[in-house]
Structure 1
Amino acid sequence: MPDTFDSKQYSWSDVSISLGGRIVTGVTSVEYSRKQEKSILRGRGSKGHKIVRGNEDFEGKITIWQSEFEAMTRDAPGKNHLRLEFDLTIAYVPEDGGQTVTDTCKTCEFTEGKKTFNQGDGNMLVELPFIFLDLIPQS
């Protein structure tokens, strides 16, 4: 392991997001997580003996412009965004030539779609929670 490591901080302008193979311009936020069920294995005594692992789950949320959502829905099976299946790729590509990092959320499906529009808004944003089957980090 090297003595030092690059602790470059990425900014929003360094991020490119591809949904189903298409770069999406109208993304305003993205989040994704991997979690695993864990519990303490107990036996003799009052302290645990081991941490045991269970199922892994993957979920996320993307917020996009309404125009992007409507285009996606138009091309979805049955015009229903909940029937889309896609890979979501998030690439962190710093302009200064630092390390490029690409995470891929494999086999995603939206679980809902929430349209929200408030007085004074210049455009509508649509929040789309999703689940997926695997996270391929730093590919």
Structure 2
Amino acid sequence: MDTVSSKQFSWNETSILIGGRIIEGVVDIEYTAKQETKPLNGRGNKPHRILKGNKTFTGKKTIWQSEFEAMVEAAPNKDALDLEFDIVWAHTPADGVGKAVVEVLKGCVISEYKKSMKQGDTNMLVELPFDFCDVKPQV
């Protein structure tokens, strides 16, 4: 009988790779996968089934300003909005117990960026919403 691990990952066990490089200055990351659905109605007042349409994938990451500037430097025309990249998101158990969980967010493009600072800040954070094509779990 197979058992399901209830292992929970912490931020300390998470690595984010962009362009083959671990990003040290990432402070948060999230993504959403969505699928359009529509009820198929016919006889009666309840749907007969749910039809599936297109999938969409969006995300957001917040990184140090220095990491953002490195991305700009590598971008075509020095424009972060022209970049296309994959994000590898890996969760590796620090205690070595259990297996790593790795997801690849394919074909990421930055949809906008926002820079801001306020009095008392000790560093700048840059928020980067992004769209991407697919999530590929690695097994």
- Normalised to the residue count of structure 2, the TM-score between the two structures is 0.95
Per the alignment, residue 119 of structure 1 pairs with 119
Q: Distance in 2 between matches of 1:105 and 1:21?
A: 13
Q: Which residue of 2 aligns with 1:133?
A: 133
**CA-to-aligned-CA distance 1:53-100 (integer Å, 9 cap, x gap):** 000001101100001001110121111000001000000001111220
Q: Which residue of 2 aligns with 1:87?
A: 86
How big is the shift at 1:20? 1.6
Unaligned runs of 5+ in 1: none
The 3-state SS of whatever aligns with 1:48 is coil
Cα drift, residue 116 of structure 1: 1.8
Task: Specify every segment of 5 or more residues in structure 2 that has no aligned partner in the other structure, as ranges.
Answer: none
Please give the secondary structure, in 1, of the residue aligned with 2:95: coil
- DSSP 3-state at the match of 2:112: coil
Aligned length: 138
DSSP 3-state at the match of 1:137: strand
User: In the alignment, what sits opposite 1:26?
Assistant: 25
Q: Which residue of 2 aligns with 1:38?
A: 37
Aligned to 2:105: 105
Runs of 4+ with deviation above 2 angstroms: none
What amino acid is the match of 1:112?
E
- TM-superposition CA deviations, 1:32-70 (whole Å, max 9, x none): 121100011100111110000000001101100001001
Q: Are 1:51 and 2:50 an aligned pair?
A: yes
Aligned-residue RMSD, C-alpha:
1.0
Shift of 1:138: 3.9
SS in 1 for 2:77: helix
Residues of 2 paired with 1:79 and 1:35: CA distance?
A: 31
Deviation track 1:5-42 (CA, whole Å, cap 9, x = no partner) reads: 11101000000000121110000001012110001110
